[in-house]
A and B are shown apart, each in its own frame.
Chain A
Amino acid sequence: MRRLLNLIRNENMKMFRQMSTYIMLGLLIVIVIGFGFISKNTAQPAATSADWKAQLTQQNTDMQASLTQIQTAGVAVEQSTASIDKAMKTNTYRIEHDLPPEQGTTLWGFVTQLAGAISLVSLFTIIIAAGIVAGEFNSGTIKLLLIRPLKRWKVLLSKYLAVILFALDALIILFVASFLVGGIFYSFGGVSQPYLAYTNGNVTEINMLWHIFTTYGYACVNLLMMVTFAFMISTVFRNNTLAVGISLFLMFTGNMLVTLLSKYTWVKYVLFANIDLTVYTDGIPVVKGMTLNFSLLVLAAYFIVFNIISWLVFTKRDVAA
């Protein structure tokens, strides 16, 4: 166990002695700051707070009217009803509990927007994952690495865990940076603001930090799957560029692919049809009848298959590089 930890320390040392690692993490911070400046300069001036209750009441009346229209027209009733219902109930909750709506951007709004940058974290982690095994083969260092009293699976596991740790580092940096930048630009006053969640027809207040945490969590499903995939390609083909290329290609075209194939029911077994779990809280799954449990099972199956392939290839391979 101690030597496994030592292995992870080694991987970290190698990772953080390379300039490219710092460039990636630095870029993440630069992007957060840059985004802060842009959103500050283009932000709408905040509306006067006095009449927000009247505004929301007016909104609700309008929405009620359009809802009636939709129901008589009978087009896309289900989806529209759900989203309008959610908005109306949230407004009512705000009026009743004296919670002004988020005007323009707030600290938490900024942090939530920047959760989109998790795809950037995915990109960077894919680059790391693509290089961590292939790199040892390319430089020939794999030989001196594997002639130690540690079985190959331990070496591979340490590399995988080091990649996951890098992703965690990057996520923490993203969160802290966007929190600080958001606070500086939009004041830290908004920290205590709650998040209004809409579940099963009821509006509930939840801790904002928990909300951000779940947002990150959902985004990390994609990250974890694509990084594991890149790691597998890197291990199987020992080719850094190929691993980055294929992973990024799939990451960006996966959803499109699923949409194109959505008329076939087997598409529900495709990884990308299951990678966005938010459809089960507010959205519609690609194929009707898919459930959260189904998606979790499919994801687990892919995850296990990717790792088993990496493991088999790495432990059985003749190292003749």
Chain B
Amino acid sequence: MRRAQIRPAIPERSEDPRVEVALTVNGQPVRRTVSVRMLLSDFLRHELGLTGTHVGCEHGVCGCCTVHIGGKAGRSCLTLAVQANGFEVRTIEDVAGEDGILHPIQQAFKECHALQCGFCTPGMVMNILSRFQEPEPLDLSEDGIRDMLSGNLCRCTGYINIIAAVRRAAELLGRE
């Protein structure tokens, strides 16, 4: 049996069929040519350098990669970049003001100490923001908030402070 040979360098560009994708990200039109199988999460992080969108499980369970697609929260790991063609995508980078002033939801997370390592936070904020933007009345009971957060896993906080932050955010945004 021969020993394994060192293989030549892997090509820098994959040989996958490529497709042109044009969408709006955080208000800016972007156009890239990417592999058909590129996930929206990888598109945001690797093509656009927007690394605020985190990647955890890549099968839709952890919620870290949640962004807004067409104005509603969705999993960027369960969406192909090419599926977002023509859509408006909004990521965590667009939530705070340009001057660095935090969005009330972010402010509430800070005040309530609703994050420790912060890995899940971008997905949490994008999910909560999407719910606050829906015209539907919000259920701000303990159960209602837990249901709201059920698609986002946090392994640090035990959720208590995140629930408090959602209530605080509702106060700050006048949604009681």
Same complex origin of A and B:
no
**Residues of B participating in the A interface, judged by any CB pair closer than 8 Å:** none
